Structure 1
Amino acid sequence: MNSDHEPESPGRTDRVAALRPGYRADLADGPDRFFEPRRTTCPWCGSAGLTTRLRTTDLLQHKPGRFVLDRCGDCRHTFQNPRLSAAGLEFYYRDFYDGLGEKQLGNTFASRGRMYQQRAAALLPFVSSPKNWLDVGTGHGHFCESAATVHPGTVFDGLDFTDGAELAERAGRVERGYRGSFPELAGELAGSYDVVSMFHYLEHSTEPPRELEAAHRVIRPGGHLLIEVPDPDSRYARLLGRWWLPWLQPQHLHFVPVGNLRRRLTELGFTVLAEQHAEPHDPVDLLAAVWLALDAAAPRDDLPWLPARPDAIRRTLRAATLIAGIPALLLGTLLDRFAVRPLSHRLGLSNAYRLVARRD
């Protein structure tokens, strides 16, 4: 498990120092402005029967703030409450997928080609050669690059609200990269695609129902929608608590139980053709939990949102803590891949689910 930032180097040290004044100004009045008012009703069904499911902090970047996930007692939808504001989304995403985090995350995504091919292959039982495919939340387009080996006759486009889609187009991973909001671009793209995919995208969106409506608008009649999201009903979500990686606070805003998503798709005019739990499971839960706990216990790395650079003693203590945790990291990896993975669905431990639906 890698950290979300690069190993310390002279170049990185200078970049962190250059970013520190900007972050200091952003945090001068505290993090309250990064949140909207707290909701009293469920954003999925409107029920007022809410309970707190989780309280946590930013365990990946360690930016200031505390985050709450509430759960609806009627439909079981889990959501961030209070939710990040537009300023909060900008602040907490900054230097994660871009800036300081761009190289690290790019390398991580580029190394997951086999997983991307498996996602693309989920469509094969229903259609073998779609004409064109729009990947929503495409990042830097690595899924499209891998999916083209599974569907060699398909033209892949990508859409993302960051500059990742433009980077993907320049790198040749997508034919066309769209930057912006999917619901806002849906009118321009209406009826244009045989396939739309949303792999670990819906949980990032502020209004998932609007994203689903946009997908219905963009897909041609008879076309297909692929969705993959974290499974909030995974037993790992309860067993690991705040150390369960898919909570990914504060970026993940919504966690939709599979029954809710199936019903909403049916209401929109889709037919769900397949529901998968074992196949999309990513065997990293125990490894990630150990890493998050070690990283939280160790002194902080040099990060621009901290007031000052850690001194030599704290840097040494951090390195020693992480080295001492290597046996636990190895054990977590072995358990994830060889003990849990073959039984993940049977034990209710799958950390994600995938739906394949046809637009009627």
Structure 2
Amino acid sequence: MNSIYYNSCPLCGSSLIHEALTAKDYTVSGETFGIWHCGGCSGRFTQNIPANDKIGRYYQSQEYISHSETKQGLINRLYHSVRKITLRSKQNWVRASSGIKQGSLLDIGCGTGAFLHYMQTGGWNVTGLEPDENARKNAKSIYNIEPLPIDQLFSLPAASFDAITMWHVLEHVHELHHYLERIRVLLKPGGALLIAVPNYTSSDADHYGQHWAAYDVPRHLYHFSPASMEKLLLSHQIRVEKKHPMVFDGFYVSLLSEKYKTGKSRLVAGFFNGLRSYRKGLKNVEKCSSIVYECKL
């Protein structure tokens, strides 16, 4: 089978599903995909997604920053300029949620290893998993870090990590429920799980609609609301203890969305829409473009 069609919600299993909108792949293929809404959990998902062994070609782009570290174009340069701030925030969240300053960390979908490198320099024992071979090679050449292939998730020893992180990864995972079950096995008692995903109920998603860059079809298989994330995690006996806003994501996503919507790099319009998202996210985390879910078993 080359594509997957869902008759029920892949997040909660409900049959109360319907098409909500269609979105275009602006990064690689130019193809359009339906995005369906679930009345049972309020989550959304991309319909007719490429099968796991077919989706690789949709990641083959130099513009895919988490795999290539590209600094081409103003938007990607801006991404790099704020990354040090976001890396520090991630480190602080890991320390606070795990209750320790140094320990063992697993980063699933580590890309080129920037976060792993940052945590390693802070004294953490780090392990990375990454499905893309080129990203693994870049991690070695840039940071001298050697991520493992993603299938090693199911070979790592149980109860071996103080913290597990997934930064904008869960929305990409075909075997969603298997991954969450495996994470439960790999966390030490009292360990912390931090998951960052885009929020389709954010103010910037409302503004841009089908042009919202964080739909990123077909690479993003699922599109989470805060309610759907909490329901999904609870179904695996994982509880959300805190939610944190990823305040800079609104700027990056709005700049890309403006380009997708108008065909032009309208920096001023993108910046002000990002600023609006930033302000709303500070007031209400559930309106932020991306949310970090801090979790415990």
| TM tier, smaller | 0.7 to 0.9
1:205 is the counterpart of 2:205: no
Report matched runs for 1:1-360 at 5 Å.
34-36=2-4, 38-61=5-28, 63-96=29-62, 102=68, 104=70, 110-111=80-81, 112-126=83-97, 127-148=99-120, 152-163=122-133, 164-172=135-143, 174=145, 176-181=146-151, 185-277=153-245, 279=247, 281-295=249-263, 322=264, 328-337=266-275, 339-346=276-283, 349-359=287-297
2:229 is paired with a residue of what secondary structure?
helix
Distance change (3 Å), C-alpha of 1:287 and 1:103 = closer
Structure (1 or 2) with the larger CA radius of gyration: 1
Count of residues in correspondence between the two structures: 288
1:52 is paired with a residue of what secondary structure?
strand
- Provide, for residues 24-81 of structure 1, a one-character-per-residue CA deviation record: whole Å limited to 9, x for no partner: xxxxxxxxx7523x222111222222111121221223x1422111111111121111
Question: 5+ residue gaps in structure 2?
Answer: none
| Counterpart-to-counterpart distance in 1, 2:39 and 2:172 | 22
Aligned partner letter, 2:225: P
| Counterpart-to-counterpart distance in 1, 2:283 and 2:64 | 38
Question: 5+ residue gaps in structure 1?
Answer: 1-32, 296-321
Aligned partner letter, 1:161: P
Structure 1 residue 228, shift from structure 2 partner: 0.5
Aligned partner letter, 2:199: D
Distance change (3 Å), C-alpha of 1:97 and 1:85 = farther
In the alignment, is the contact (CA less than 8 A) between 2:165 and 2:194 conserved in 1?
A: yes
Distance change (3 Å), C-alpha of 1:97 and 1:138 = farther
TM-score for the superposition, normalised by structure 1: 0.71
Per mean C-alpha deviation after superposition, the further-off stretch among 197-206 and 71-80 is 71-80
Per mean C-alpha deviation after superposition, the further-off stretch among 343-352 and 284-293 is 343-352
Structure 1 residue 342, shift from structure 2 partner: 2.6
In the alignment, is the contact (CA less than 8 A) between 2:174 and 2:221 conserved in 1?
A: yes
TM-score for the superposition, normalised by structure 2: 0.84
Identical amino acids, percent of aligned pairs:
21
Structure 1 residue 287, shift from structure 2 partner: 2.0
